[in-house]
Amino acid sequence: MTLRKFAGLGALLSLVMPSLAMAADEVAAPVLNSGDTAWMLTATALVLFMTIPGLALFYGGMVRSKNILSVMMQCFAITGLISVLWVIYGYSIAFDTTGMEQGVVNFNSFFGGMGKAFLAGVTPASVTGPAALFPEAVFITFQMTFAIITPALIVGAFAERMKFSAMLIFMGVWFTLVYAPIAHMVWAGNGGLMWDWGVLDFAGGTVVHINAGIAGLVACLVLGKRKGFPTTPMAPHNLGYTLMGAAMLWVGWFGFNAGSAAAANGTAGMAMLVTQIATAAAALGWMLAEWLTHGKPSALGIASGVVAGLVAITPAAGTVGPMGALVIGLSAGVVCFFCATTLKRKMGYDDSLDAFGVHGIGGILGAILTGVFAAPSLGGFGTVTDIAAQVWIQCKGVGFTVIYTAIVTYIILKVLDAVMGLRVTEEEEAVGLDLAQHNERGYNL
């Protein structure tokens, strides 16, 4: 119906303005849908809003007051850097389909070609979208915001001790060798390694959260603990910021998950609903788990539960039903609570802001449970009939991503450490990164 309306408009235009109508005729075949376009424009802005200011505030509040600017600055700098790299070659590595063939594993199953480098051939008339047609420019920007938030999530693992220069180079290289290829393998379509395996990852549980969580774990292990961890008090300096940031992430996530339907349709609507359900359940799950084990429900706890739920429902958003979302959310709240508190203590690694405990663990849990609850027999809307088989496929996807990301991240960090050093000096760490790395302080009260 919409298509017909557009065709009618074209005919009308051809009567009034012949020259314009000719241009319209050239793109007559793929006519974009304004409703889908409007939603994808909105969703894109929502996802950017998750990183700045959402994640910047969420993380910024959790560090000590001497490091708030360093964390926020890292989020902003990553946003700038990744946007530029995305249009130069990132989009092409992730989404160029040259040489890809269903069922065939070749170089292009891992790494996209350079056909879209410098966004070659992208014009206002370029359209894309599996379910509906909207401008490729919007798709590029939408996916760019995912590419931005993924490295920004890693910041939480090495907060309060990494050199800004080393951080920036690490993020550029990591984006190139880890993010873009993993996105390609999962999302580029037929011929992509994990796409062909049948891995279900609706909005980026594997590509974004497992990826960032594992990279964070490796980064905090390679960099080592903050000076004084875990005996010196390192209490969050402004949990109000953290709660505001968590709230922005929650709202922005509707763009992330419902936007991943790449259309304004029923799938997007259901993705929005299950996102809310899982997040609410995880917030309660974390809060109750903490209440029972530590005696009091905490604000940082409920904010962390919110993020754990958002992470866990991400891969599942397009395929699970409301009751599946309830189970996924509740289990994410409880499991991530355990990992960010008890497991971290036991293992002794210093994942400053729990990038691994929340995003890594929540991502893995969500990816596996997607295989379970996508089944129509359990209220899902996927095509999964054999739950065990799908869970195995999901595990394969998780396993591959964990191993690939861990190895490549480790190599990048070790090389950078040898070349330029990753950590600030002990003195700079004590002074705080705001003064030591940026010559300013967050608070002049």
CA nearest to 123, candidates 205, 16, 30, 238: 30
DSSP 154: H
Which CB sits closer to another protein, 304 or 437? Answer: 304
Amino acid at 431: V
- Supply the minimum distance, in Å, between the C-beta of residue 294 and another protein: 6
Contact between 233 and another protein per CB under 8 A: yes
Member of 64, 66, 344, 423 binding another protein (CB under 8 A): 344
Interacting stretch for another protein, rule CB under 8 A, among 36-44, 196-204, 299-307, 362-370?
299-307
Member of 298, 428, 431, 435 binding another protein (CB under 8 A): 298
Task: Find how far residue 76's CA is from the centre of its chain.
Answer: 16
Member of 90, 301, 362, 442 binding another protein (CB under 8 A): 301
Binding to another protein in span 351-390, by CB under 8 A: 354
Member of 8, 345, 415, 421 binding another protein (CB under 8 A): 345
A 10 A CB-CB count for 235 gives 8
Contact between 67 and another protein per CB under 8 A: no
Contact between 130 and another protein per CB under 8 A: no
Contact between 235 and another protein per CB under 8 A: yes
Contact between 300 and another protein per CB under 8 A: yes
Which CB sits closer to another protein, 61 or 191? Answer: 61
Contact between 236 and another protein per CB under 8 A: yes
- Supply the minimum distance, in Å, between the C-beta of residue 352 and another protein: 11
Member of 123, 342, 383, 425 binding another protein (CB under 8 A): 342
Contact between 66 and another protein per CB under 8 A: no
Q: Where are the alpha helices (DSSP H) in 50-179?
A: 56-62, 68-85, 91-95, 107-110, 136-154, 164-174
Distances (CA, A) of 47 to 17, 38, 188, 193, 305: 39, 15, 20, 26, 19
DSSP assignment of 312-379? HHTTTTTT--HHHHHHHHHHHHHHHHHIIIIIHHHH----TT-IIIIIIHHHHHHHHHHHHHTSGGGT
Measured distance CA(212)–CA(168) in Å, rounded: 15
246 sits in which H/E element: helix 239-258
- Supply the minimum distance, in Å, between the C-beta of residue 341 and another protein: 3
The count of residues interacting with another protein (CB under 8 A) is: 17
> Quick one: CA dihedral 384, 388, 280, 246, positive or negative?
negative
Contact between 234 and another protein per CB under 8 A: yes
Contact between 294 and another protein per CB under 8 A: yes
Measured distance CA(350)–CA(339) in Å, rounded: 13
Member of 8, 30, 80, 230 binding another protein (CB under 8 A): 230
Instruction: Tell me which residues touch another protein (CB under 8 A).
Output: 230, 233-236, 294, 296, 298, 300-301, 304, 340-342, 344-345, 354
